Amino acid sequence: MVIKMPFKRILLIKPRGRKGLGFSADVIPIGLEYIAASIERIADNLNIIDMEFEKHPFQHFLDIFHPDLVGITMSATDHNEGLRLAKIAKRMGIPTALGGYHPTAMPDELLSRPQVDIIVRGEGELATKELVQKGSPDGVLGVSYKEDGKIIHNKDRPLIDNLDSLPFPARHLRRHKYKDHMSNNGRELDVISMSRGCWGRCIFCCEPMMNKSRQRFRSPENIMQELLEIVSFHDGNPLSIFVTDPNFMGDPKRMDCLCDLLQKHELDITFSVMTRVDNIVRHPELVKKMCDSGILSYELGIESSNPRDLNNVKKGITLDMQRKAVGILRANGANVSGTFVIGLPGQSEEEIKQFPAYAKKIGLMNCAFGIATPFPGTEFYDNLEKDGLIFERDWTKYDELHSVFKLNPMSKERLEELETYCMARFWTLNTLLDGARVLQKRSDNKISSKDFIDDVIAKIKFARNAGYDVKEEGFEDQIRVVLDAIVDAEIDEKERKICAHDVIEMPKFLKILGSQIIQITLTYNGHAPVSYIIKTTNKSVEYIKTISGKLNDATIDINIDLNEVINSINDNSSFNPMDTFISLIKQTRNPKGIWNVLRLCAALIIDFSHSYIKDKASNVIKYD
């Protein structure tokens, strides 16, 4: 690369196509915002473009901004899309620089492409700043580049020890108002990083490669200063903030001080964090303080119910720790999520099928089951590559929803079906009710039926967006797996009884509906029907259960053809209550059945209307 004048017009890009379980919360490109904040004072023109939300093609932004450097953040799943954008920029003679986990792990492969000029390895703020100032990668620590057809790797840049020295992310450059796609809580969404790295050495994790198994921390005062800036940026509206730290409780003393600051300022913020099981168990008093400070959603790396797996992946936890950690969080009214890794060497099909039952047994309220994925740069990848077991080189399949390495005797197709099976077996109505029941500990109020259904819909949409579009192949088999899992889940549910009327505010609904046996039957392409049976009285929900087949004595019989549901999703058809009502009437076979359907619809309408009016009144009081 020829040395030139400093880069002055910078275009930072997040490609479209970041999919899969690993990126479920990766909505706001905070990494690019950190880069932008570091170079803002030395650039004449600086823009961040999130192609996931843009309606214009990439060429449009090249034409209006005329950049002299295009920087692209890249993950494994948007590998192809990132290279496509780099090719468009290179066609116009614009130098390109790639950054992120994926380019850091495989700079040689990416630099072998003619459209890639520069790779920024590891932390990008200081390296990018020096690169922009010099207008050349020559001698810039942490940068790889090409010169006369030869790939050159400059020495690694030392990790940034003083994270407080970094300017806050350039949120003012956002072109979109991001929403929390994992809930319908009405809060505005933002993201913050309070530390970097993790001292853990899990063999499947990218952190040991990116941060050398070191964790560095910002001071509580610096974090609080940014939080106040975020609140101002959102005009004081209620916020839901996702914390990117892979090990949130890595320094308990700092967290204790941060909680003091949060309680002093009384901000209307709820936080979602990722932390280790062992940290929760060692510091139960701090957990209570964190929950009292608005840190209410926790994601734990459970990984497996087999100690063998935990040892093999160097997780450093025990089954007893898993159980205790979940119990501590539930006791404090926290929202507890867990992640499992399926498809690790040595796991059997029967073992994997029991993971969702184990998750419910220890009390997890949310759960994800990701297929073991060997990301480049990890110990897991190196071990499998050495043994020649990795068969898939399409990086878009590295989404934790596809199998990419050989696992005998289980086939690739069967393992991918088991991921679907685990999700379907875990997410039962009882699981949703259990979660709502735990969260009641902080409000002492039952959830409205409207809010409960809204939450269910949000979770369905999230699951669809996270996995459906990357599993289109063999989708018919996936649906059959779901139906099998629904029936098998009834085995788990016999051990826990949760009364819906104890969790959901529904006296008006039940009084209008009265004594009914509601049957909701799912059918699909010749598969044996699967039915949800709900028995109600005018005061309670006596039971909810799942059966294979159908009852003959249901008073309200609702049949759902999954073929039609899938077609409506593919066609992006909107939900029409009137069409649903007409469909229910058509399914009834006698006047009494029609009357029961009318009662059900009336109960829903009145209950939802009551909830809507109550919410409106509450908001008026709150903001007056």
Sequence-distant (≥ 6) Cβ neighbours of residue 91 within 8 angstroms: none
Q: Which two tokens stand for residue 250?
A: 């890595």
Whether 228 and 307 share a structural domain: yes
145 and 28 in a common domain: yes
Residue 498 belongs to a domain: no
Alpha-carbon distances, residue 109 vs 102, 390, 541 (angstroms) = 10, 16, 59
**How large is the average pLDDT for residues 295-317?**
96
Collect all residues with Cβ–Cβ distance below 8 Å to 404 and sequence separation of at least 6: 373, 374, 390, 391, 392, 397, 398
Higher pLDDT pick, 463 / 140: 140
Give the residue with greater pLDDT, 270 vs 441.
270
Q: Does 107 score more than 80 pLDDT?
A: yes
The partner residues of 196 in beta bridges, in order of sequence, read 216
Asked whether the beta carbons of 554 and 517 are under 8 A apart, the reply is yes
Residue 425 sits in the same domain as residue 557: no
Q: Are residue 227 and residue 371 in the same domain, yes or no?
A: yes
CATH number at residue 585: 3.30.1050
CATH number at residue 456: 3.80.30.20
Residue 69's domain comprises 9-153
243 lies in some domain? yes
Contact 13, 51 (CB under 8 A): yes
In a domain? residue 624: no
* Arithmetic mean of pLDDT, 73-92: 95
Burial classification of residue 152, based on how many CB atoms lie within 10 Å of its CB (0-12 exposed, 13-18 middle, 19 or more buried)? middle
State how far the Cα of 133 lies from the Cα of 79, in Å rounded to an integer: 28
Residue 138 and residue 237 share a domain: no
Residues 228, 362, single domain; the answer is yes
Quote the CA–CA distance of 165 and 174 in Å, as a whole number: 22
Say if 128 falls within a structural domain.
yes
Q: Check residue 68 and report its DSSP letter.
A: S
Is residue 65 in a domain?
yes
pLDDT in tens, 205-264: 988 888 888 999 999 999 999 999 999 999 999 999 999 999 999 999 999 999 999 999
Domain boundary among the residues 488, 522, 545 is at 488
In the chain, the number of structural domains is 3
Say yes or no: 571 and 428 in one domain: no
Average pLDDT over residues 368-373: 94
Domain assignment of residue 500, yes or no: no
Beta strands in 329-381 (DSSP E): 335-342, 366-371
Residues 143 and 193 in one domain: no
Dihedral angle sign, alpha carbons of residues 74, 79, 82, 87: positive
Task: Give domain status of residue 162, yes or no.
Answer: no
Q: How far is CA 598 from the centre of its chain?
A: 39
**Rounded to the nearest 10 degrees, how much is the dihedral formed by the CA atoms of 408, 414, 416, 420?**
-140
| 516 and 466 within one domain | no
Strands 295-303 and 269-275: parallel
User: Does residue 341 contact residue 312 with C-beta atoms inside 8 Å?
Assistant: no
Percentage of the chain lying above the pLDDT 70 cut = 87
Provide mean pLDDT across the span 596-621. 65
Residue 553 lies in a domain: yes
Per-residue DSSP letter, 274: E
Distance (Å, rounded) from C-alpha 421 to C-alpha 370?
12
Kindly give, in sequence order, each residue whose CB lies less than 8 Å from that of residue 433, ignoring residues fewer than 6 positions away. Answer: 498, 500, 503, 504
φ and ψ at residue 205, rounded to 5 degrees: -95, 145
Listed in sequence order, the DSSP H helices in 212-318 are 220-233, 252-265, 277-282, 284-292, 307-312
Residues 85, 195 share a domain: no
- pLDDT at 431 > cutoff 80: yes
Tell me: pLDDT of 308 over 90: yes
Same-domain check for residues 437 and 586? no
pLDDT at 456: 76
Tens digits of residue pLDDT in 474-503: 566 778 898 999 989 988 887 777 888 888
**Do 471 and 569 share a domain, yes or no?**
no
User: What CATH number is given to the structural domain containing 123?
Assistant: 3.40.50.2300
